[in-house]
Structure 1
Amino acid sequence: MLPAPTPAAETAICPPSPPPPPPPPVLLPTKAPALMWRRLPSRRLADMCEHKLAPNLPYVKSLFLGWFEPLRDQIIAEQELVSERGTRASHAPYFNMLPADMMAVITMHKLMGLLMTGSGDGSVRVIQAACQIGEAVEHEVRIHKFLEKTKKKNTKEVDKVVEAVDADIAKEQERLRKKVTDLMKKQKIRQVRHLVKKQDSTRPWGQDAHAKVGSRLIELFIETAHIQPPASQSGDSTPEIRPAFTHEMRTVAREQQKSRRYGVIKCDPLVRQGLDRTAKHMVIPYMPMLIPPINWTGYDKGAHLFLPSYVMRTHGARQQREAVKKAPKEQMQTIFEALDNLGSTKWRVNKKVLSIVDRIWSSGGRLADLVDRADVSLPEKPDTEDEAELKKWRWSMRSAKKENSERHSQRCDVELKLAVARKMKEEAGFYYPHNLDFRGRAYPMHPYLNHLGSDLCRGVLEFSEGRPLGESGLRWLKIHLANLYGGGVDKLSYDGRIAFTENHLDDIFDSANRPLEGKRWWLEAEDPFQCLAVCMDLNEALRSPSPETVISHIPVHQDGSCNGLQHYAALGRDKLGAVAVNLVSGEKPADVYSGIAARVVEIMKRDAQKDPAKDADAARARLLVDQVDRKLVKQTVMTSVYGVTYVGAREQIKRRLKERGVIADDSELFGASCYAAKVTLTALGEMFEAARSIMTWLGDCAKVIACENEPVRWTTPLGLPVVQPYRKLGRHLIKTSLQVLTLQRETDKVMVKRQRTAFPPNFVHSLDGSHMMMTAVACKKQGLYFAGVHDSYWTHACDVDTMNKILREKFVELYDAPILENLLESFETSFPKLKFPPLPERGNFDMKDVLRSTYFFN
């Protein structure tokens, strides 16, 4: 029989011993990141009980308090059950290793955290939740066992121990226990785990055990966690009490394969609404640091003081992890230095912009790309038996629910970002430690509010240190505003962009002084919050009697022009490609998308002259020739760097044509999309012939290696070893008390096709990562503030000219090396018995032209 559910309104009653968990999650101070359920003292909950504060907590926080006791009691009952002889439950060997109250808190917080950051529909896959809960329990078990093992016994027991065991051993155990306890008080969990691991000789539980333990804890939580809707206004009826979580199976259909079923844990809509409201109370790991990050010196040595930090995000790829670990420190030195430089950039919150964001958000969102905080209304079921009407209603209901799920996910995301911004807004400055993905691209380790994020994130962040604008800085600030406004303005020459800004000074002043009460011109920008921040900066500067002396904290961006194609043009020394992507100077920036669109129009006009009776493409060309513009081809051109297929290009163009509604018939739309994709890829091949030949060569080399069941590996120009992680996955079934779970494990077989198709884009990403890190190191040596977002480089307005000079010099320096020759040599050295295709022919483009290219990055 299940314990009686505890209604949320009654959770102020102080629970009996053992002490319940800490209150639900909060943002932990940056100086003390750790496990929430270890770090927040339970006495805080006792204080709340004593002062009857629990009902005043946000709704979900109150639910946490109500869920704890029933779950803890059920875990105790389960522990008693598995202690009996003859119990064969698969989770039995692990279930008594931790006190029930600890297991209850771990289960609640882990599951709620996953629901918070999950798919947005209020659900999480059972396999994901079970494994993470089980792993968290194991970590706590190891620490708990160590503390129990080294606990001081009573006097008589101590005497017996001293007689039986060397006194030095007892002293050493006591010393270790004291050290662990002190570290836990200081919340140095990483060091605690390291110490405990050295003393713990037991074998790791493994993923199977994690899944079994986690599944049973989830099952108990589902049985005991209930929710009670708020009482009706009249108070005449008692609201129903219903389960807070349910377990259900879903089916996912897959093209050309059998459909697959998987289990999810789904929360009640009331819980989901509570998550919207209390997102800001969730624990956020890897918060920005208030002091500079530790310099990187090894694979797991650097960045955060106490949290586990790894120089690369390997996602379980063993060969990649081992390759980085084995790389000599001297070889990795430039990588470490670049990451240290990126992490040493000091940021702060732009309070003016944050206050505007808060006003919009508190008023319901809906402006500046912020999601609507209200759900759409669900359509009422029609009172009819007409199947056509019911079908229409079901479709509308699905659409409304899908929209609400997406809004929920976006609301949680905004709340998390704003929670960090509000937490950090009074700090003088903070830092983002960086690490790498396996290709060598750098990322901030904090996941929510960072400069790689959305316009909201970028708008509320600015450099902590301000610098006088100077004459050049004022010019670049005007250019930057035009870039952020977008809408084609960012394709003008610099003089054209400056003229745009100066023609809108009244709008800029109005936006800065009356952002919500005035004309709201800033809301028309493609990046509204960043545009608002620059409006405020320009307003201050231009209203000043000495604009050049005004201190600016705004990061000004310089972005590559279809950067992947820039790297291919450099690799192939391709003159035609170089002109198309601004490796050569021009009066205004070359627009590669407009260039491809123009070439597509040429081909279609030629085809339109043919006889439709003899050539089906003639009719399609006549239909499409007036529809071709940069927007139609942009996505295909962008993804060409990543090896977009004909099918992929067809689907991209089909979506654009469907949006325009010019072709109503589906079969006609399909045929037109096929033709447009074929012509676009032809135009790309003509304009970027060298890039295509290099992509093909890289893919062919990868296929040669992968056919030998070996992953493709290479070393970047900065010395980073890269191993492509694509291996076939084997399925492993585990029967748990909740359901049969399917675990996927890497096998020894590589995925030949994936190794081949992924290599060209991965290799180019490793080059753009190298260019960014080379620039970061050089900018630091010149005393510049620097931040990088892959192919977008940021610094103070007054330093843009210096950064522009550096990034061009470093690009030329990168390609001074024979990159493709070195790659082929490394392949032939690693696989001397294999035959690789010859290097593709290259042109005679002079890389020094990049040094004089005004719009290379702009």
Structure 2
Amino acid sequence: MINISPEREAQKALEIKTVAEGRRRFAERNREKVKRSGYENHSEVQKLIRGAIPIVAEGVREWMDVSSKARGRKPTSLKALMELPVDTIATIGMCCVFRCLGRAGRVAELTQDMGRRVEIELEGKALEAADPKAAKALLKLGQGDLTEAVLEKRFRALVEENEAALHWDDDTRVLVGQTILNVVLRKLSDVFYQKTITQNGLRHAVVMLTDQAAAAIVEMEDLAAMEHLPLLPMVAQPRKWESNSSGAYYCHRLARLVPMVRTRSKEQRKLVKEAIADGSMQEVLDALNAIQDTRWEIDDRVLDVILWARETGLRPSSSFPTDKTPEVPEKVSPEEWEKMSKEEQTARRRQRRSVRQVCQALAVDKGNFDRDMATAQEMAQHNCFYLPHSLDFRGRTYAVPYFNHQRSDHLKALFRFADGVPLGEDGGRWLKIHLANCGDFEKVSKKPFEVRTAWVDENASNIIATVMDPEAMADWWTKADSPFCFLQACFEYVEWAESGFDPEFLSKIPGAADGSCSGLQHYSAITRSADEAYHVNLVPRSDVGDIYQVTADAAMPSLQAEAKAGDASCQIILDNGFGRGEAKRNVMTYFYGSARFGMREQHMQDLMRPLADKVAMGKLEKHPYEQITLRVNKDTKEETWAPDGGYSCARALAEHIYSAVTTVAAKADEAANWIQQVAAALAHESLSMIWRTQTGFPVVQRYSEFTTKEVNLWLYSRTIRPAQGTDKVDHEGNTLSRVRVLLRQAPTSRVDKKTMRSAASPNVIHSMDAAHLHKSVAKARALGITAFSMIHDSFGTHLGNMEAFSRIVREAFVECYEDYCPLQELDRYARSVLSEEGIEKLPPLPSKGNLDLNLVLEAPFAFA
């Protein structure tokens, strides 16, 4: 008899509960969607509609061909239907049939509804010809959140105004609808059938789902529910990764949802299998297993404060949810609206839209928070729990459960190691460094270590007071950079102090050694650029390098010069203050592939739209970056003046920061451009870009093109993409089998050249930081370190082991590049697969600088 541990029994019960709860929640969401939007919007019905559209379209095409060639009088519906694409007609047929099913409607009502939908589509075409601008605006509204009744009212007014109304009678609509319904019933005989029922003594024809189709929808819903399960932490040690499908959960239904490497590429799965078999990626397996073997527990000290903050409405950080929902401004009367200028109307519309978006985001945040807290309280009942981990296609390591320490500050602070490690000789110093880093008051984390530890000594009284009464000290600790992680460190520090600063004090919270703009760190090692390495602390220095401040300083002169020359955007930026904060995200993401467009969007997302939200919520009187700008409609060329929501300033910020960072990090820019050129050469011949990291992990970059088309119906608030499956279909088989085959969306043999080029350099760098993480963990595990808190370029373990781990991280970084260069790896691969013509297009390898990699071993702030 096999003895199963209590932990395994508990894990089995948790996995059974996960499956049941996930299926319940998925079904509940579908019921809500059907109740709100109709049966045709049920998620699995949507799939059935997508798969059936090509089949019904084929039937419509056949009917048109036969009817147009037949002798004698043509069907009344032929002329009308010939004016619309067959995909549109098929979409109308499928949506109307399922809408009728959801309402238990009759055939007479169904055919009239179908005919009315065709009439609307034809009127829409006429409206587009008569007033393109109005038609475009209405189509855009149709993709929003307005009800169909409101949309139809606006549509009808525009159609009448432009004399585009058809004014069909009911008989015409029924005749057109009957034609479509006949095609649907004939082509989808395994899905629908017509029968006669008696109601109140009267006989009516209705359309019904076949038993086979109803069972298929239930089966599809069950499969979809499994794919959307809320995967949870484990209370038993995860199964070890020994193959691509061998690790994490014990329940087969859950385990099959979690492969070791999340990739769509069959080629990559094959290469991973071979690399595991020949042992070349053993370091990756060792690291992944070590990370997910880490024993965690919930820090109930922090949990109590989080629940108190939520209950009292305190919001220590922007990632912490709030219950304070803003009120959507009331609509003004038509008379007031007419008196407003176009600019005032635009501002009013944007204000209402902005508040609605804020309300929707708050609702999502609240739901996530409640689920996170429920999971935390459940995990707190166990002695320890585990976070199974897996890899993305670049090798980056992610926790599988949504509840994990890689998310926002208040969640990260809930996690501490289940086993303590003595602080020892150096752990107390690392605790102080960690405490200062989390608080980052007056940017102390950018100062030398001795300044950080001194900050803790100077603020010991506040730290102790915070632990004694977090509520009373909330005005202080909530201003920390990471408030809850700072609070957790305060708790740990005070407990250590109460022990008399005993070196044997068992500390459980993770410390961390963070990379200093890790993207540029990797580029500096690849290119051996000593100057760029200096900016990101890869060489010894007495102060802490700050590439974000260096870039901001480099951008300032050009901003000032253009402002002086009369550029209004630059002047507004300077008036509002420009510095490190405005440059940081742009610089950080530049080394992971962000260009001008992406940088501009970051400023819109991080700065401009939040300010617009504050204006909309009445917290701010005026948007400080907003300007009135001239806009030109691309279709009508009509010019209008309107507030830009800070767009012009966002664009100027992106332009100047991009120019500065490419100047400050010229060698990195050269390497990134080289990688993109190689990717472009490969993409030109529809080839994948393949490389192996220093730890032996095979990366396959291939962004294939898919054959897709979209159908937009007037007044229907969803764009439908008919299935475009490319598998062979047995036309003698049943309809449901054909639908399923069509739903198997297969990529074409062509690659998306634009994405292949733009994604290449960030994917290479992400794979390099993944290799560095794997090598660091594997080396540390071999030396006896058993607990890890890893977030890409943040290397965490017990504070008592941080001194050793910090050294290991630097050693692993040097080993990653001592005898390995990803550019040479890519060059060799490209030359092995490209044609002679393609090889001639390859750029020469960038020259290398004179950086001595061994200096990293003596660089204290490289990972700190």
> Is TM > 0.5 for Structure 1 vs Structure 2?
yes
| Overall identity of the aligned pairs, in % | 28
Map 1:35-74 onto structure 2 (within 5 A).
none
| Unpaired runs of at least 5, structure 1 | 1-27, 41-104, 136-210, 225-248, 267-281
Is 1:360 aligned to residue 348 of structure 2?
no
CA contact 2:247–2:255 (8 Å) conserved in 1: no
2:423 to 469, 479, 485: 469
Distance in 2 (alpha carbons) for counterparts of 1:771 and 1:115? 46
Q: Give the TM-score, by structure 2 length.
A: 0.66
2:321 to 337, 361, 371: 371
User: How far is the alpha carbon of 1:493 from its aligned partner?
Assistant: 1.3
Instruction: Specify the alignment match of 2:791 in structure 1.
Output: 789
User: How far is the alpha carbon of 1:303 from its aligned partner?
Assistant: 1.8
SS of structure 2 residue aligned to 1:431:
coil
Map 1:209-228 onto structure 2 (within 5 A).
223=103
User: How far is the alpha carbon of 1:857 from its aligned partner?
Assistant: 0.6
SS of structure 1 residue aligned to 2:818:
coil
The change in CA–CA distance for 1:733 and 1:591 in structure 2 (over 3 A counts) is closer
Deviations 1:792-820 (A, max 9, x none): 01011111110011000000000012312
Deviations 1:375-394 (A, max 9, x none): 33344445663115895765
CA RMSD, 1 decimal: 4.2
Map 1:639-654 onto structure 2 (within 5 A).
639-652=589-602
2:851 to 839, 845, 848: 845
User: How far is the alpha carbon of 1:359 from its aligned partner?
Assistant: 2.3
The change in CA–CA distance for 1:495 and 1:721 in structure 2 (over 3 A counts) is same
1:344 to 285, 293, 318: 293
CA contact 1:36–1:283 (8 Å) conserved in 2: no
SS of structure 1 residue aligned to 2:255:
coil
User: How far is the alpha carbon of 1:566 from its aligned partner?
Assistant: 0.3
SS of structure 2 residue aligned to 1:815:
helix
Instruction: Specify the alignment match of 2:830 in structure 1.
Output: 827
Distance in 1 (alpha carbons) for counterparts of 2:19 and 2:522? 49
2:512 is aligned with what amino acid?
H
Deviations 1:520-565 (A, max 9, x none): 4221112111111111111111122343232211100111010000
The change in CA–CA distance for 1:825 and 1:389 in structure 2 (over 3 A counts) is same
Instruction: Specify the alignment match of 1:661 in structure 2.
Output: 624
Instruction: Specify the alignment match of 1:562 in structure 2.
Output: 517
| Unpaired runs of at least 5, structure 2 | 1-8, 50-90, 105-120, 122-133, 148-226, 612-622, 631-643, 725-744
CA contact 2:39–2:45 (8 Å) conserved in 1: no
Distance in 2 (alpha carbons) for counterparts of 1:254 and 1:289? 53
Instruction: Specify the alignment match of 2:43 in structure 1.
Output: 129
Map 1:75-224 onto structure 2 (within 5 A).
109-112=25-28, 129-130=43-44, 223=103
SS of structure 1 residue aligned to 2:862:
coil
Deviations 1:398-418 (A, max 9, x none): 333222111000001111211
The change in CA–CA distance for 1:832 and 1:457 in structure 2 (over 3 A counts) is same
Deviations 1:778-800 (A, max 9, x none): 11112212221000010111111
Deviations 1:555-593 (A, max 9, x none): 001110100000000000001100011111211210101
SS of structure 2 residue aligned to 1:297:
coil
Deviations 1:293-346 (A, max 9, x none): 111111111221122244445354444334434544223322211110111111
The change in CA–CA distance for 1:215 and 1:631 in structure 2 (over 3 A counts) is same
The change in CA–CA distance for 1:294 and 1:37 in structure 2 (over 3 A counts) is closer
Is 1:514 aligned to residue 516 of structure 2?
no
CA contact 1:125–1:265 (8 Å) conserved in 2: no
CA contact 1:712–1:724 (8 Å) conserved in 2: yes
CA contact 1:31–1:290 (8 Å) conserved in 2: no
User: How far is the alpha carbon of 1:656 from its aligned partner?
Assistant: 7.7
Distance in 1 (alpha carbons) for counterparts of 2:783 and 2:45? 48
Instruction: Specify the alignment match of 1:810 in structure 2.
Output: 812
Instruction: Specify the alignment match of 1:298 in structure 2.
Output: 243
Q: Give the TM-score, by structure 1 length.
A: 0.67
Distance in 2 (alpha carbons) for counterparts of 1:575 and 1:821? 20
2:233 is aligned with what amino acid?
P
Deviations 1:503-534 (A, max 9, x none): 21121111111111345422111211111111
User: How far is the alpha carbon of 1:33 from its aligned partner?
Assistant: 5.1
The change in CA–CA distance for 1:607 and 1:377 in structure 2 (over 3 A counts) is closer
- Could you say which structure has the greater relative contact order, defined with CA pairs below 8 angstroms and 6 or more residues apart? 2
Instruction: Specify the alignment match of 2:255 in structure 1.
Output: 308
SS of structure 1 residue aligned to 2:503:
helix
Is 1:628 aligned to residue 583 of structure 2?
no
Is 1:706 aligned to residue 622 of structure 2?
no
CA contact 1:582–1:590 (8 Å) conserved in 2: yes
Distance in 1 (alpha carbons) for counterparts of 2:290 and 2:46? 33
User: How far is the alpha carbon of 1:748 from its aligned partner?
Assistant: 2.1
Distance in 1 (alpha carbons) for counterparts of 2:628 and 2:40? 42
2:861 is aligned with what amino acid?
Y
User: How far is the alpha carbon of 1:637 from its aligned partner?
Assistant: 1.0
User: How far is the alpha carbon of 1:367 from its aligned partner?
Assistant: 4.4
Is 1:727 aligned to residue 704 of structure 2?
yes
User: How far is the alpha carbon of 1:665 from its aligned partner?
Assistant: 4.9
Is 1:458 aligned to residue 412 of structure 2?
yes
Distance in 1 (alpha carbons) for counterparts of 2:16 and 2:101? 20
Distance in 1 (alpha carbons) for counterparts of 2:698 and 2:777? 20
User: How far is the alpha carbon of 1:460 from its aligned partner?
Assistant: 0.9
Instruction: Specify the alignment match of 1:286 in structure 2.
Output: 231
Deviations 1:246-296 (A, max 9, x none): xxx9xxx9999x969779999xxxxxxxxxxxxxxx996332111211111
